[in-house]
Structure 1
Amino acid sequence: MINEILQAIIFPGVLFTIAMGFLFDWLDRKTAARMQGRIGPKITGPSGILQPLADFLKLLFKEEIIPSHADRVIFLFAPALYFLAPLLSMLFIPIIGPTPLAGFEFDLLAILFLLAYAAFVVTILSYSSASSFTTIATGRLVLQYVSYEIPLVLAIITAALYSRSLSVEGIVASQSTLWNILVMPFAFGVYIIALMAELEKPPFDIPSAKTEIVAGWLTEFSGRALSFLKLTKEVGYVFGSALAVSLFLGGGLGPEVAAVPPPVLYFVYFMVKLLLVGFLIFVLKTALARIKIGQATELFWKILTPVSLAQIAFVLVLIQGGVLVAT
């Protein structure tokens, strides 16, 4: 019992997930800097690796200003509720072995619920500020959400259908001989694009367009609330990439090495795949320019949703014909 609690709190639980959020933030900055001919963080820690932590602590101890027209209760407590979504979701991801910390038979449905819950909390947060900038951002946020949510869910369902499981553990186990990405590459592509919209990364940083609406729905937040909201985005980055690894890249499964204990090997494979997916998103967000909300809506509804449906149809044909069916 004590061991399970320590795992949930330290590794591979809450503290590990937060540390990975800081690491992803640093890698994101470094990747963008290199692609743009800059150096990026370099002072705080080796190669500036502690800069995200320093930025978080700096914001954490700054004065927190609450706008007079804001809903005080929501403004103060909703950031903590938002922070819970990616942290709880990570408990369903197998990291150091085939079994996650809190997995159950239908945990994929719980993940879908938490994704919707996070979007709902952000919407409430935006409206609680009662600012003209956050109001515009909220409208964009809601429209973007209803656009990307359908292809995102369809991509996830594709993996579940082929694996015949609604648990992340079952989906990972079904990829012991063949990764899902080889059977459903378009579903993986749709998932990555929709994930970038979920995370509000370029070209889908429309709700937080700095050159148009200051900081979007974050405009009125400061101090402790802003520090946790920014950290939540980075932890969401980690979770989204981890879910991609589990659904499409076989989780931590890989060739056996006799001299390495299975939990260590599983963790190493998982981390390598996680960083590769993260790096893919880092490169895409740096290379692509922001698009308009109308263009994003057309992309998701007119292109990615039909592609997702076609991928599902292809997978159903494979299942019906007994071809390459996951074990």
Structure 2
Amino acid sequence: MKDYTSGYSRDILLKPQEEVLNQIISWLRRHSFSPEDIAKAEEIWVRYIKKSGNYRANSRTWAAAVIYFLGKIRGHKWLNQTFLAKSFSVSPGGISQRWQQIQRALQEAEGRERTEDVTEGFFTPVAAEVFRKLMNYTQTSDKWKNFVGDIFFQFVGVETPPLPIDLIIELLIFITCDRTLPEGKKIIDYFIAENAGKLQPEEEEFLQTIKASRFSVFKVEAILERSRLLLADYYRENEVEVQVRESGHIEQGDIIMSRIVPAEKEGLWRFGGNLVTLRPSAAKELSDLAGKWFWEYSVANKGWATGESFIQENSFRFWRWLIGH
């Protein structure tokens, strides 16, 4: 008799992690999946935990993400984010975030380049170092250390689940490089001015690039070629062309939440930072969720739900809420 066990010992799993695995196996058995598929799903989860160990957040979201990943591997197109979100009572955005987190960890564990990742090297060693200097500046400056800490706490607080590291970085970029202060400047402007003559050309180039970057929700209007996408910016109601290494798994109609930065060629952009992609089937639900959330939040906080400044100010807060559900 053929052995369909995954070959990866579940002995390394802590109780909460094992509960996720039990949810995965139970769901697959209820839906009559083969022993091979069940073993593969177990392998995905155990390998991910062995590599990352990061399992906190809604256990149903993790279970749905593993099954979605299994569906992509096996070619089960009916295992889409919308179907699984309804089945597990979680959000499509949460599934998208978690399965890509699993995918990255497994690819890194195998020592492969992330060939399907459309993001280019944004945080190079030079960029990472100057960003560290910017963060250190906010923590040592009497003017900014309490301000940044207070804003960070407003967005993150002591809630669970904790943010993935890429979204923590995105939040720090938002606080220091996106938010315009009452005097019309941003924290990054003060950092550049106070360090004039001290920065290397590559460091200053990165700071100017990140200062000009945009965080938004985009719809893929067209795949112009393997290395170029036409995106509709939902926040600004315009279109942008984005260069990618290759379009890979992105399809026309997909919804992408990411930061874009100016590319070397004028008029073009490229992805930088966190990238979350939702299939068209999940886009309508995300649109409805976002509309409802922004409206209710604006009423509670006396804002204007359709105003760009209000949306930009609270877009990260919405995403924070979404991935926790």
TM-score, normalization: structure 2? 0.27
Larger radius of gyration between Structure 1 and Structure 2:
2
Hey, which of these two has a bigger chunk of strand by percent?
2
TM-score, normalization: structure 1? 0.26
Hey, which of these two has a bigger chunk of helix by percent?
1
